[in-house]
Amino acid sequence: MGAMGDRNSPGRRTSPAPSPPSAAPKSQSPAASPPAEEAETSTAPAGILPAEYWIQQGLEESHNDNDSTFEDTVSSTASLSESILQYRTLHGRTYHSDKVTDNQYWTPNDEKQKESMDIIHHMIMLVLDGRLFRAPLRDDIQKVIDVGTGTGMWAIDFADQFPTADVTGTDISPIQPSWVPPNLRFEIDDATKEWTYPANTFDFIHSRYMFGSIGDWAGFYREAYRCCKPGGWVESFEPSAVMESDDGSLYERSPMDQWGKVFVEAGRKLGRPFDVPQQDLQRKGMEEAGFVNVDIWDFKCPLSGWPKDRKLNEIGMYSQLAIEQDIEGYVLFMWGQVMGWSSEQIGVYIAHFRRQLRDYNVHAYVRMRSVFAQKPYTDAR
């Protein structure tokens, strides 16, 4: 699969991408059969099937234990889960306090969601070949901030790697561990509002997976620019919620096709986009704020273990595990509160989605984009 965007753009590099097999699959599971056209109604936005469609579709018999693809999936994800999620406990669904931010943040902050976030951290480390960042940082870097730190895994790893750096992780929920490196502290802060730090504070400003959380990306990077030291760096790693395939195996009107379309529409209603790479919001925001030396790196992240390439297969397995760990947590708020789906409609859709996700005849991926840039040495605003 080719690169996204203009291959001749300066500073743009393209990752190895999963490639579909040369021959089409001989057979497809029931989950890969296109739905009937007559189920669509005029009440849903263009391209989005109405919520009741999924209840009208009978959920056929699930894969049995003799299905080698499904069996391999269950075995592999169980092994990955045991290695990463040991010593975790599961609690009920909770969300962020409205005393810190508005009540429109879309994922829970409970144990189940935290486990999914930790798996995503491991997956991103695989995507970046074990690196925490791509920017050309100095070994003697002093002040660093991880905006939207989540469970704090990135900040902890960075503080361990740079023990002389002063590292801060911010989030709207205090869900980080208490045992952390001595050069790391966590603070409660809402990055969508005016930042509380003085100008020219940080040598490196890092953020990732802020999609669906930020309405004003230009404003976000204006604050980052103000708080960045001259010569300092900002780096952003963002996925898209839009699921795609390059060989047509992810067809329109399928559960995984609808995933991205519903998220994009819900994000439009909320004013917080879920297709950040497609809109090029990172680069645009950084350049508008005044950052220079912008570098863009694109990657097509497989959503299951379908790639034959060993590295991409492992990335896909962790991606699938992260999604399956908390599918409900990812869709409940946006689909229920924003799009108006009932709990029954959401539950039935999830069953359809999970079955298609486990079908390795579907060569699905999401776009991911890493962008870093520098504040000019001459600007001490």
Per-residue pLDDT of the chain (381 residues; tens, 9 = 90+): 433 333 333 345 544 444 443 333 333 433 444 444 433 333 556 688 988 888 888 766 444 333 444 445 445 544 544 443 332 233 345 555 454 444 455 456 666 777 888 899 999 999 999 999 999 999 999 999 999 888 889 999 999 999 999 999 998 777 677 888 999 999 888 888 899 999 999 999 999 999 888 999 999 999 999 999 999 999 999 999 999 999 999 999 999 999 999 989 989 998 999 999 999 999 999 999 999 999 999 999 999 999 999 999 999 999 999 989 888 888 887 888 888 888 888 889 999 999 999 999 999 999 999 999 999 998 666
Residues comprising the chain, all counted: 381
Q: What is residue 22's predicted lDDT score, i.e. its pLDDT?
A: 37
Q: What is the DSSP letter of 62?
A: P
Report pTM.
Answer: 0.80
Q: Are 344 and 55 in contact (CB under 8 A)?
A: yes
Determine the residue type at 5.
G
Q: How far is CA 361 from CA 33, 250, 305, in A?
A: 11, 9, 10
Residue 307 φ/ψ, nearest 5 degrees: -65, 145
Among residues 124, 188, 127, 111, which one has the least CA distance to residue 154?
124
Report how far residue 349's alpha carbon sits from residue 21's, in angstroms, rounded to the nearest whole number. Answer: 28
As to burial, measured by CB atoms within 10 angstroms (0-12 exposed, 13-18 middle, 19+ buried), residue 224 is buried
The residue ranges of every structural domain in the chain are: 45-54+68-86+103-374
Integer-rounded Cα radius of gyration of the chain? 21
Q: What is the DSSP letter of 337?
A: I
Q: Report the CATH architecture of 45-54+68-86+103-374.
A: 3-Layer(aba) Sandwich (3.40)
Determine the residue type at 89.
T
SS3 298: strand
The pair of structure tokens assigned to 303 is 């959503």
Q: What is residue 90's predicted lDDT score, i.e. its pLDDT?
A: 30
Instruction: Please list, in sequence order, all residues whose beta carbon lies within 8 angstroms of the beta carbon of residue 57, skipping any fewer than 6 positions away.
Output: 35, 39, 352
